[in-house]
């Protein structure tokens, strides 16, 4: 299977290269990058020197599948002609995630480059949309925050055990802000500090709302999503809070057991959504494709609390993209993705 | 003014020494420490070598005021005889914080060593209890999380603009776990990782509930408090969420302005509770005695959001203790506490 | 191939489990741990839960090869009976590294538990002793610092191009100090700080001296080895300095080219000793088994400078141990060790 | 005393503001910054909001002393007219450090903007040039590495106890690379990683050579200086190695005592050069103006080893600049500089 990576020089693209380099069914045949075109991969990323290729401006080989790790708008623009040529595409940008074109234009402040392709696109969270992904030719790979948040809340919303009054307080490592330069990626500014950001609204919000509304057995959600920047390189931790719906579940200690059972059941066949028995840490997911989920109940206030975590560059980006590729090509879902976390 | 520090060898005690060493009205005359008794301060903490004293088992001098940085129970036990001798006391442990003895015993799992002294004790959050602190002979210095959380929510609760349905998602650096050894203070375990802890209930909860209920214009609060451990040394960041009460405040963008005005007004005379116009970071409080507070509204969901941060060893412990001492001894409230944050 | 791990609960043991879990020819059949005996692996290390085993006090299965990650002395003691039963052993402790019993006893302050086995033991640095390792039944796996330092200097010493007047200034992440508790593993103490340690002599010195003297074409070395503790979890960086021997090599810019060629040639067939063309960073080795080496010359002073780095838990411990196992069992040297670095 | 700060928006300028804001004899009356001109200090640096001033393009007030934290060349260019107007100047850039114009031009790749002023300039390391600084109108404030390295080696070179064959292996936190954007200040790139940089020659080398040659009782030095980038915000640690000169000092254990005595004596009257009895850590200097120095001997190889550390933004930049100002204006040398380290 011939694979192309558009914009290999950002973190998501680089991480795709790391994973695909050891994928038994994939062969990377073309990688692009704007400012670095003409250089070898090894010059830019010494740890990938084994991938003995030159970075080009455009995809130069005919490929079976293409991943794009470009920013939004630029991504769809580059992908569109390849898609029309019959290449399957996994887009790590936001361009194929939102079903509602107006929402896209509101949040991203630009017209969509190829709205006519949106209908074919599938939201690539395999734990919720596996069948569609298997048949898809365009997958909009979820954002890192949405991956953690949606998997944390889907079982409870589907079962209708919570009021749709949800707070997601999320914490992200710095690599989520990419390889570009800003005070949010400047070491001395973010080290030894925590802050909330995107206080007026983060672009991952509409995506979370779209998916949670879809799965909710009680319609729309009233959702506050608040991301925080944390001094570490990789990892996302989502703390989710919602009131239990009276009568829908036992109260007190019993609720804890029922919630855990519900979550275990929901994800029992999923290789990468792991419901655990003790509160997790992002370090349990360092470098692997797991989303680790810990549901419990604050019995003092009868609130559901779900803590989920993942590696933003793997299950939150490149790993999930490869998981989607595996499904699109009828490969085992975890092919090339059986990394053990690099703990500590 | 002669000052004693009980248990100078923990982080709160050490930080008291740092601050008091430069306090123009205070002279440290006696410092204690259990395992380190007999050593000089400089052997244990080279950066405090200038404080040329030997650590003793007990307070050896007669002092005007004593600070205790011992763990709970041990602290009250050591302080009680000194208090009875007329020494003013600021206790950094939890022993003099809770008014309700039963709550103390439930959360701390032990009988209180001197319940008869509780009545004299004042909860030492000067922004809320300044008059009482000025007249107090025993001050229970607030916990680090409560300092951040209570200051974040007091104005809104007092004004009655929120429903008492509150979530506090707090993030703490590692020094909050002290100088003792555990996997929560082990570098390789906590570095590059985030986790929730105290998921079944953290000891700072009853303290927050006590104070918020007291100030609330609508009675009790239904409060979830969830602390997280973050890979940095100092700093606490509290993200507080509560629904705005319908009719009590404008909705939409107007609410933001009203909330900000309310907070500015509430803290206008406070030297250390600083309401700011842009979302803050814990680094803005590194080494100083500020609690920086940013109130706003999620206009999509009509929720109040308040972000507050402080240095857990300063405003969250030793600095606030000195602020209390200043008030107890009729000194300027900010005497010896005018540090500028060590940014970056 | 049945494999046992003695003391799986330290970082080296845990890392062995991570690597062996995906090794196609190895099956972990028995793991021991002292304080954790009776618990499942997943309870202690959630990221290894897939390895569904109970930790026992002793090796409970008959195994083909055993790894020990115990501290010195305890390690040889536990290994000796297994070795006598014909089990091949890779010892990650220092017990089988030093040829000179007196040196061992001087540096480790204890008698060797089984000196009669020393003669069979091979120093397991495959790049220098591949043939011996292939035939060995006991391998003393090198220390983390020695792995980086010896590989950095061996080519120059063998070629006789430097005076044996060597300084190795090494920097290590905190995981090198293990999973035990001390102020050297305490987050708040080591974060945001650098220091030299072992200033009066570090136990890895005799091991480095032994191997460098052995390979030197000019006899003994006059070596200063100075380790430093750096605020990061994994990684060792060795900066090595020695005067070029007059007449043995060109001077000035030409020397740089000759040195690089010498190093490239020396390691041309080695899968894990990688000579690179640009100064490396420890992050290039995060989680992989590489020792990355950058030789150059300070042309102002005619000094050889070699910078080498590796992941102390992989090439500096568990990865190298597996590399040795592969050689001992006639497997491809890099079997199970083809991890790509987890950058960034 | 009216003070101006040119380029307050970099880290050195910002740190000057932090220190001068509490200096009892100084009043900041004018601050400049290029891209931020027109903004208030508090908008750019919330922790300095108390300094209620607008950033301007040029020094707008007449001042008694001006500090420049501009890059080289730009700095001298801006300072020259002020100096000619009789304003005393402390330049944190490299423009007034090197006595040899050719060296300046070689290392900085540009002509000096005002070579005619060089003769008046004093190298502002007060521990070595106090008298000259007191009489100076232009002070070239030393680089951060040179401050640590020169203070570490000066006593030994002056006493003639070492061969001038010196290696300085230095480790710096990331703030040394400033507030600008580069992969050397990018969080995800430098976090959890160590590397050598400036391998072909760092601009601080000529400055170290100039000063050490000047003080050496045996003429020139043969010096390798190798900086490393360490994942922490503040701090420099210099590890210095040189062979003891045979006959100039005892050998073996006695040498250690003699060396310590020599250093203690050399710095006995210096408030900020502190010779200590145990190996230090950079954290001992966090936020204070100390250079902490630990001299010892590797008795196995008869090498002097000196470890020194300091906060690169304080003793390595702004603090030392204020120390120089104090001397130039006949104030107590430590006025406004009595900060206790912010440990941990």
Contact residues, chain B, for C181 at CB < 8 Å: 181-182, 186
| Residues of chain D with C-beta less than 8 angstroms from the C-beta of C197 | 279
> Up-side HSE of residue C310: CA atoms within 13 Å toward CB?
31
Quote the CA–CA distance of A97 and A129 in Å, as a whole number.
Answer: 13
pLDDT at D341: 98
User: Which pLDDT band holds residue C252 (cuts at 50, 70, 90)?
Assistant: confident
Strands (E), chain B: 2-6, 27-31, 65-68, 88-91, 121-123, 138-140, 165-172, 195-196, 222-229, 236-243, 273-275, 291-298, 303-310
Check pLDDT > 90 for residue C218.
no
Average pLDDT over residues B288-303: 97
Distance CA D40, CA D35 (A): 12
Token couple for D153: 């080696």
Query: Which pLDDT score, from 0 to 100, does residue D251 have?
Result: 84
ipTM of the complex: 0.97
User: Averaged over A64-92, what is the pLDDT?
Assistant: 97
Which of C173, C185, C232 lies nearest to residue B186, judging by beta carbons? C185
Closest chain B residue to A175, measured at CA: B192
Strands A236-243 and A222-229: unpaired
Mean pLDDT for all residues in chain B: 97
| Percentage with pLDDT > 70 across chain B | 100
Mark yes or no for CB contact D174/A191 under 8 Å: yes
Measured between alpha carbons, how far is D57 from D76 in angstroms, rounded to an integer?
16
Among B282, B285, B276, B280, CA closest to B171: B282
Q: If you write DSSP's letter for every residue of A242-301 in order, what string do you get?
A: EEBPBTTB--THHHHHHHHHHHHHHTTT-SSEEE-SS--BGGGGTTS--EEEEEEEETTT
Q: Once rounded to an integer, what is the mean pLDDT over residues A13-31?
A: 98
String of DSSP letters for C175-191: GGG-SS-STTTBHHHHT
The CA distance from D196 to C238, in Å, is 10
Strands A27-31 and C303-310: unpaired
Per-residue pLDDT band for B219 (boundaries 50, 70, 90) equals: confident
| B30 close to B38: Cβ distance less than 8 angstroms | no
Tell whether the model's pLDDT for residue A123 goes beyond 90.
yes
DSSP string, C121-169: EEE--HHHHHHHHHH-SEEEPPPHHHHHHHHHHHHHHHHT-B-SEEEEE
Which positions of chain D have pLDDT values less than 50?
none
Look at B175 and D344 and tell me if their CB atoms are within 8 Å. yes
Supply the pLDDT for residue B39. 97
Domains and CATH numbers, chain D: 2-142+315-328 (3.40.50.720), 145-312 (3.30.360.10)
Residues D255-274 pLDDT 10s = 999 999 999 999 999 999 99
Token pair 């206009």 in the structure block, residue: B299
The closest alpha carbon to A20, from A57, A60, A51, belongs to A51
B190 close contact with C: CB closer than 8 A = yes
Q: Which residues are registered as beta bridge partners of D305?
A: D241, D296
Chain D contact for C296, CB < 8 A? Answer: yes
Segment C294-341, tens digit of pLDDT: 999 999 999 999 999 999 999 999 999 999 999 999 999 999 999 999
What pLDDT does residue B230 have?
Answer: 98
pLDDT computed for residue B218 by the predictor: 84
Task: Please give the pLDDT value at position C251.
Answer: 84
State residue B317's pLDDT score: 98
Share of chain C above pLDDT 90, in %: 97
Decide if A186 and D185 are in contact by the 8 Å CB cutoff: yes
Return the number of CB contacts < 8 Å for B and C. Answer: 51
pLDDT surpassing 90 at residue A42:
yes
Higher pLDDT, A74 or A251: A74
- Is there a catalytic annotation at residue D144? yes
Tokens found for residue B237: 């960041």
In tens, the pLDDT along C325-334 reads 999 999 999 9
Which residue among C45, C47, C280 places its CB closest to the CB of A46?
C280
Can you tell me the distance from the alpha carbon of A192 to that of C138, in angstroms, rounded to the nearest whole number? Answer: 46
The answer to whether residue B158 scores a pLDDT higher than 90 is yes
Q: Identify the three-state secondary structure at position D171.
A: strand
Chain C residues with beta carbon closer than 8 angstroms to that of D191: 232, 344
Which chain C residues are Cβ-neighbours of A340 within 8 angstroms?
Answer: 18, 21-22, 47-48, 50
Q: Coil, helix or strand for D75?
A: helix
Closest approach of A307 to chain D, Cα-based (Å): 24
Residue B88 touches chain A, beta carbons under 8 Å: no
Q: Residue C239 pLDDT more than 90?
A: yes
Contact D286 C192 (CB under 8 A): yes
Burial of residue A330 (number of CB atoms within 10 Å: 0-12, 13-18, 19+)? exposed
Contacts of D231 in chain A (CB under 8 A): 187, 191
Contact C250, C258 (CB under 8 A): yes
| Confidence grade of residue A252 (pLDDT, cut at 50, 70, 90) | confident
Segment A163-171 shows an average pLDDT of 96
pLDDT tens sequence across B160-217: 999 999 999 999 999 999 999 999 999 999 999 999 999 999 999 999 999 999 999 9
CA distance C183 to chain D (A): 12
Q: Does B104 touch chain C (CB under 8 A)?
A: no
Dihedral sign computed on CA atoms, order C142, C147, C151, C157: negative
Tens of pLDDT, residue by residue over A278-317, are 999 999 999 999 999 999 999 999 999 999 999 999 999 9
């Amino acid at each position: 299977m011939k694979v192309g990576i558009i914009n290999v020089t950002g973190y998501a693209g680089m991480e795709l290269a790391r994973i695909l380099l050891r994928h038994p069914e994939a062969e990377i045949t073309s990688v692009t990058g704007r400012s670095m075109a003409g250089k070898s991969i090894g010059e830019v990323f010494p740890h990938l020197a084994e991938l003995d290729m030159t970075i080009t401006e455009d995809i130069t080989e005919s490929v079976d599948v293409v991943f794009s790790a470009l920013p939004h708008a630029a991504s769809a623009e580059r992908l569109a002609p390849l898609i029309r040529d019959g290449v399957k595409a996994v887009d790590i940008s936001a361009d194929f995630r939102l079903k509602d074109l107006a929402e896209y234009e509101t949040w991203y402040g630009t017209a969509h480059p190829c709205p006519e392709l949106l209908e074919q696109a599938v939201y690539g969270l395999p734990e919720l949309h596996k069948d569609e992904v298997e048949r898809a030719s365009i997958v909009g790979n979820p954002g890192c925050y949405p991956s953690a948040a949606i998997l944390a809340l889907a079982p409870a919303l589907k079962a209708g055990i919570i009021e749709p009054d949800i707070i997601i307080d999320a914490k992200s490592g710095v690599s989520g802000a990419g390889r570009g330069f800003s005070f949010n990626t400047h070491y001395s500014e973010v080290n030894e500090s925590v802050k909330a950001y995107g206080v007026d609204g983060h672009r991952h919000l509409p995506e979370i709302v779209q998916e949670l509304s879809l799965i909710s057995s009680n319609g729309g959600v009233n959702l506050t999503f608040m991301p925080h920047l944390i001094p570490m390189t990789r990892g996302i931790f989502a703390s989710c809070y919602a009131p239990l719906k009276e009568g829908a579940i036992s109260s007190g200690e019993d609720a804890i057991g029922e919630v855990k059972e519900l979550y275990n059941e929901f994800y029992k066949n999923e290789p990468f959504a792991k419901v655990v028995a003790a509160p997790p840490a992002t370090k349990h997911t360092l470098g692997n494709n797991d989303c680790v989920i810990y549901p419990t109940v604050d019995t003092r206030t009868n609130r559901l609390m779900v803590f989920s975590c993942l590696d933003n560059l793997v299950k939150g980006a490149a790993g999930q993209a490869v998981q989607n590729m595996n499904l699109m090509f009828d490969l085992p879902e975890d092919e090339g993705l059986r990394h053990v976390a690099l703990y500590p």
